[in-house]
Homo-oligomer: A and B are copies of this chain.
């Protein structure tokens, strides 16, 4: 059931084309007197595309893109590192985990939008307040998965490693870490998106540059085309980061048997 890469690409493009066609029709052909996707809210695909091209051609986008990239990568790296470390720590110290469990869950439930002023107060208007927002999203996703991943380590493999005399640290390196890896990467794929969301929402709530700023500005003057162009760039952008994550994953998980569902 493996697809030929060219065929795969073709199908992917086909999906995009169909989606764009629906969009175009919804925005321009009234159905029962009403537009399915009114232009005021959705713009038109062609306008959005030409705006994207224009943003790149005129070069204004680069500065914003660069800032958002920096924030996203920082949020992603700091958030996942934190999630991994604290996740492991909690998993290995059941007492710590039990005591802090309710607090972690409480923090996870705080709406980040409300926290923005506090981050600004502490971290200023620069990139760090946006990074902080991203971190609060990324951290919890990674944390919960790593925590669970460590608890799912095969008891027999663990017992064997412990009988070899591994110290806590060696167990971490040789057992917990590799075993929790597929959990970790699963959460990283979600986290990439959320890191970007955090950065953009942060910019949206207060900043002087970045994709979120661009989108917010466009929204303020009801420039939906601008909003969609910004979101489009954003989305394309996350694919690039995810591609890197996938590469690292492939590299680190060579030892896996081919996934059961891919066999045969």
Contact = CB atoms under 8 A, between A and B. Distances in A.
Given A1-B95, A103-B15, A150-B261, A108 B182 contact: no
Contact of A111 (B11, B117, B200, B236): B200
Contacts of A102: 12, 239
Interface of A: 1-3, 8, 11-12, 15-16, 19, 38, 41-42, 91-92, 94-95, 98-100, 102-103, 105-114, 117-118, 121, 140-141, 144-145, 147-155, 158-159, 182-183, 185-187, 189-190, 192-194, 196-197, 200-201, 204, 212, 215, 219, 227, 231, 234-239, 242, 257, 259-263
Interface of A is mostly: helix
Given A106-B235, A148-B186, A235-B107, A118 B41 contact: yes
19 contacts: A3-B95, A8-B99, A19-B103, A38-B121, A41-B117, A105-B189, A105-B192, A105-B235, A106-B239, A108-B192, A111-B234, A112-B197, A114-B200, A140-B190, A144-B187, A145-B186, A145-B187, A145-B190, A153-B260
